[in-house]
Chain A
């Protein structure tokens, strides 16, 4: 380590959960990074010995932001064990609630978590700073308040299908617990239409069709200059502010992408996808696409506080503060390190866009490469790829009201099953064993485990650790750049950090 390098622990909030990011930096640039999940909740072990359906009630409560996604993963694992395929309308109504969760989360995270830092005093010399303060100041900015008002309407859709948001348990093995009334389905459709109009007016500044026609970096530049509505929209502001600050040149990461696929297509539907799912599964490493196979996932615990490492902590836990090591090579996180076929990968909307071969994002990868700005752009514009299908599926549910909503009797025999789906922030998997009518094993890999993982046994960094390396850090007391890099992955962690500096 050179004599000018420092270690700084960076406090970041406006994420969900608990995280500390430790960075080594010198000459104003991050030279290494360690990401530590600092809260252990022991959820997987709480599941053992419980009733076979209890994952439907327990696992949504892992996460207040993506509770519907955990429900989807849990029920898909039980579907697999029971060997049942839900009827078309159950598939639709599962998908619609999950998509509602996604389209509100994408906009909330972008404006309230990511773009809120545009109002940070670190940007006081940015040409758009005054506008940014007016729009994104937390709890008071015009966009901040607008987003809270509009996104909560979308969650009424989840309530009408599943009873409440967050933490519903309406998906049950083989289908859903109850068919919403036609009146509720019509109201859901009206809410989705209203959200679409707002999203087009304020977030995109144009119609969804116009946005989806943006198919290259050149086309994006032309779109941005096309009119005032697009320039002043949330997407337009993200691009203009982000480019001036240089968000397009930080946070590249390892450019290995994973999606486990999501949103099964009903057998009979007007919605089409490249596969039997609306969101395709796949892996892209070194620009080469390959099929996704969940058997190639392995969890590395070489740098995580699990099993052997935990045993080391216990005897001295009363006196020591062992949970962040100051040397590379030790355990430093409660997050395990999932690897795909040995690779550290990222997951989320950018990964989905790359795997689905969306031309705009492929053009970025072929040119300057991935960046925090590209990653955030993929998230803020993902609802454009979901809202039309939501409307179509709601229309199909209304047209076929009264059709079956469950296959089988809702019971689950002994067996093993995997439930895979995409959360707003990326790939989620539940691996479940039922033995003697009880849960014998429950293992979960979350999107943030992929994106925010610690090193593996080969010393390879997790996705946002890698993305942090090379990032400028102008003011270690207010390191907004590192915040953008980490938040561009939409971490499901609340980051809490102290600052200790040392010169070695």
Chain B
């Protein structure tokens, strides 16, 4: 039996909504098959007020063991470090985060807000992630935090987190499997590839056939602000709602798994120098890239130049 407590902080609930879309075949069956005892979820539980208070008291004291703490939404520190912008019962919720994180075997941040702070970093609510503030390690719990299992916070980034990621991580924890993490503490199984991989516009990217106007067949990277080649994520490998992804629907990737999301730069625009994006695909040398793209554009087949190939 794996006990799981789901805490919602400064967020939109979108990670919960995303999770409900998982095809496993469904969340209750997933929980049953993994023998998860869902102690509390703000949208999915039915516990009297008194029961909830007693549960929290038992968890905080350690009288009742907590295997997995899932935190959705950013830790809110404002105003002036008090946390009173998010204060159920007049008590800053961040205090509850600290108390439960100290008791849990595993601490999971679901979504970019819980992982890195997301919306509200540097804003009025003084948001941080659990163990990061954007890409800076530390966050609310501190760089050295380890849960009782010895692991740091598992960051399941994304806005929202892809619906299949949490279930898979629970599967790994239940199986006692090692969850390999990248430097941002995200599982490499889900964040070790780029969103660009598997994009159906890949050929258009390869030969630099660009989309300038909405609705065209073309690559969204050069003009529409697509972050697909810049960020890790499973969106084009494991489709959304079993069906599609933003880039397949003509919407640029906004880089929501990245610690800097949302960046201050305008969305739907690519910042560029002489027509070449300032931010290039991960790990690429600029001079080589310019030569390569020039040659690639010259080599583009007619079916792409005429935008015949479907995306």
**Interface set of A (CB-CB < 8 Å, partner B):** 9-11, 13-18, 20, 38-43, 45-46, 49-54, 56-58, 61-65, 67, 112-113, 116-117, 119-121, 137-140, 144-145, 148-149, 151-152, 155-156, 158-170, 172, 175-181, 184, 187, 310, 313-314, 317-318, 321-324, 334, 405-406, 409-410, 477-478, 494, 496-499
Instruction: Mark B119-139 against chain A: 1 for CB-CB distance below 8 A, else 0.
Output: 110011100000000000000
Contact of B125 among A42, A170, A175, A318 (CB under 8 A): A42
Question: DSSP class of B's interface residues: helix, strand, loop or mixed?
Answer: loop
B241: CB under 8 A from chain A? yes
- State the 5 A-B residue pairs at the shortest beta-carbon distance, nearest first: A51-B266, A178-B250, A64-B14, A498-B89, A163-B249
Q: Is there contact, CB below 8 Å, between A13 and B214?
A: no
The residues of A that contact B50 with a CB separation of less than 8 Å are 477-478, 499
A172 to chain B, nearest CB (A): 5
B216 to chain A, nearest CB (A): 8
A324 to chain B, nearest CB (A): 6
Other A-B contacts than A46-B119, A167-B159, A176-B215, 13 sampled, CB-CB below 8 A, are: A49-B264, A51-B265, A58-B262, A61-B159, A163-B240, A163-B250, A167-B256, A170-B246, A177-B214, A177-B215, A178-B249, A318-B82, A406-B213
B188: CB under 8 A from chain A? no
Q: Is there contact, CB below 8 Å, between A57 and B89?
A: no
Residues A14 and B46 in contact in the complex (CB < 8 Å), given A64-B18, A317-B79: yes
Q: Is there contact, CB below 8 Å, between A11 and B46?
A: no
A13 to chain B, nearest CB (A): 5
5 contacts between A and B (CB under 8 A): A42-B85, A54-B267, A56-B268, A119-B46, A477-B50
The residues of B that contact A42 with a CB separation of less than 8 Å are 85, 120, 123-125
B43: CB under 8 A from chain A? yes
When C-beta atoms are compared, the residue in chain A nearest to B162 turns out to be: A164
A72 to chain B, nearest CB (A): 15
Residues A145 and B8 in contact in the complex (CB < 8 Å), given A41-B120, A166-B17, A313-B79: no
The residues of B that contact A160 with a CB separation of less than 8 Å are 243-244, 249
Contact of B79 among A57, A148, A151, A314 (CB under 8 A): A314
B23-31, B97-105, B143-151 - interface stretch: B23-31
Q: Is there contact, CB below 8 Å, between A168 and B249?
A: yes
Q: Is there contact, CB below 8 Å, between A478 and B244?
A: no
Q: Is there contact, CB below 8 Å, between A494 and B265?
A: no
The residues of A that contact B13 with a CB separation of less than 8 Å are 16-17, 63-65, 494
Q: Is there contact, CB below 8 Å, between A43 and B18?
A: no
Q: Is there contact, CB below 8 Å, between B14 and A61?
A: yes
When C-beta atoms are compared, the residue in chain A nearest to B43 turns out to be: A14
The residues of A that contact B49 with a CB separation of less than 8 Å are 10-11, 477-478, 497-499
A35 to chain B, nearest CB (A): 14
A409 to chain B, nearest CB (A): 6
What's the tally of chain B residues with a CB closer than 8 Å to chain A?
Answer: 81
The residues of B that contact A169 with a CB separation of less than 8 Å are 246, 251, 254, 267
The residues of B that contact A148 with a CB separation of less than 8 Å are 20, 26-28
B48: CB under 8 A from chain A? yes
* Alpha-carbon separation in the docked complex, A487 to B32 (Å): 28
Would you list which residues of chain B between 19 and 64 have a CB under 8 Å from chain A?
20-23, 25-29, 31-32, 38, 42-50, 52-53
* Alpha-carbon separation in the docked complex, A10 to B53 (Å): 12
B12: CB under 8 A from chain A? yes
Instruction: Mark B55-89 against chain A: 1 for CB-CB distance below 8 A, else 0.
Output: 00000000000000000000010111110111111
Residues A322 and B43 in contact in the complex (CB < 8 Å), given A155-B21, A164-B241, A497-B49: no
B269: CB under 8 A from chain A? yes
Q: Is there contact, CB below 8 Å, between B10 and A159?
A: no
When C-beta atoms are compared, the residue in chain A nearest to B74 turns out to be: A41
Q: Is there contact, CB below 8 Å, between B215 and A16?
A: no
Residues A61 and B86 in contact in the complex (CB < 8 Å), given A314-B79, A499-B49, A499-B50: no
Would you list which residues of chain B between 256 and 279 have a CB under 8 Å from chain A?
256, 262, 264-269
Q: Is there contact, CB below 8 Å, between A53 and B268?
A: yes
Contact of B267 among A56, A119, A180 (CB under 8 A): A56
